[in-house]
Amino acid sequence: DVAEKGGYPDFMLKEIHEQPRVIRDTLAGRLVDGHLAIDELDLSPEELNLIDRVYVIACGTSYHAGLIAKNLIEGWARIPCEVEVASEFRYRNPIITPSTLVVAVSQSGETADTLAAVRDARVKGAKVFGITNVVGSPLARESDGVIYTKANKEIAVASTKSFLGQVVSLTLLALLLAQAKGKLKTNQVRLLFHELADTAEQVEHILADTTAIDEAARACKDAKSALFVGRGMGAAISYEGALKLKEISYLHAEAYPAGEMKHGPIALIDEGFPVIAVATKSPVYDKLVSNIQEAKARGAMVVAVATEGDEDIRAHADHVIYIPKVRDAFSAITASVPLQLFARAIAVERNCDVDQPRNLAKSVTVE
Ligand code: G6P
């Protein structure tokens, strides 16, 4: 058992530490002579250029990778992109035409709702790309093209390294679409690719010292509930942070776009209520800081995930977890890691079974 866990106390921690390798492997061979190489998708640049609508469908953590992808696909490729949980998508009547691309994201490649949604979308004439971690899985077989996430087998029920592999794969797809649409030039794509590759080292840096994360976790461990907030990319990252925490520590958590706080969740805040804010430098940083101040004024205990060098944030937060500076587009890759470690540290403090949380399954193959 100990050998299998590579010396780590649980699989989750081992898998969190594998993430720099996952980033490198997912990107290996993807830039050839300065050009993106995702040939297995089997669509010519002309066919890619015709795509005028993207749906990302998935469940659980994979759905959160989709929320991040929406920001990139719309931001770079300027194609309207909707993200939907598969169990909803499959039972409504989404607008699908032959120029619709459906991107199905599933670690296992066997989630029942995701597969049903894929089948339905294909019948309606959509192109379907699968993003999965399992070679030869039903999703891989039933998609028109597939990108593998190269996470290798993930054992902990709560997904970490697969999620990062999904985000990196979806980032590649967004770059490919942007290039096909003529919205990014080859040299811009190359620059972004190299920055994306640099995140492997940045994640290593985060993993090397978790003191601030552990301190914040100890401060929050006895809470009854916690609120995760962010804006833009930070909002998408918050959803995954809250899911990780509730999955493995049974501490109730919810995520909100920070600007929505005053429309409900602010009523929950009283003395010592944990508010975890994704406060990395971004175009909406100042707005987010105002939201933190509103929470603080009502007694919240603020934990901020912030960009290294941002000393000002200390004035607004009780705990600051610093992460390296990256472009906002790549912030999900770096900022998700401390939130994974934060959730795990709280689960350990609460004596929970980190790898096998109650009532949850690694993959949900029945509806
Ligand atoms: C279960 C797992 C989650 C996972 C979700 C979707 O709920 O516990 O970790 O995110 O299924 O699984 P998939 O294999 O489709 O990504």
Query: If pLDDT is split at 50, 70 and 90, which confidence band does 42 have?
Result: confident
β-bridge partners, 254: 227
Confidence at 121, pLDDT banded by 50, 70, 90: very high
The ipTM estimated for the assembled molecules is 0.97
Residue 269 banded pLDDT, cuts 50, 70, 90? very high
Q: Give the DSSP per-residue string, 149-200.
A: -------SSS-SHHHHHHHHHHHHHHHHHHHHTTSS-HHHHHHHHHHHHHHH
Tell me, what amino acid is at 161? K
Write down the mean pLDDT value for the chain: 96
pLDDT in tens, 182-218: 999 999 999 999 999 999 999 999 999 999 999 999 9
* Confidence band of 167 (pLDDT split at 50, 70, 90): very high
Nearest CA-CA partner of 105 in 141, 136, 148, 74 = 148
Ligand 1 pocket, residue 362 CB under 6 Å: yes
pLDDT-derived band at 136 (thresholds 50, 70, 90) equals very high
Q: Which atom of ligand 1 is nearest to the CA of 58?
A: 15
Assess whether the C-beta atom of 13 lies below 6 angstroms from ligand 1.
no
Whether 362 is a known active-site residue: answer yes
Give me the percent of the chain exceeding a pLDDT of 90.
Answer: 94
pLDDT tens string 69-101: 999 999 999 999 999 999 999 999 999 999 999
- CA-proximal residue: ligand 1, atom 2 (nearest): 362
Q: Are strands 31-32 and 35-36 parallel, antiparallel or unpaired?
A: antiparallel
Q: Which of 183, 281, 325, 362 is catalytic?
A: 362
The position carrying tokens 């598969």 is 86
Q: How many other CB atoms are there within 10 angstroms of residue 353's CB atom?
A: 11
Extract the tokens encoding 268: 């929950």
DSSP conformation letters of 306-367: EETT--GGGGT-SEEEEE----GGGHHHHHHHHHHHHHHHHHHHTT--SSS-TT--S-----
- CB of 157 closer than 6 angstroms to any ligand 1 atom: yes
Ligand 1 proximity of 106 Cβ (cutoff 6 Å): yes
Tell me what the mean pLDDT of segment 127-156 comes to.
Answer: 96
Residue-wise pLDDT for 302-330, tens only, equals 999 999 999 999 999 999 999 999 999 99
- Whole-angstrom distance, CA of residue 204 vs CA of residue 206: 5
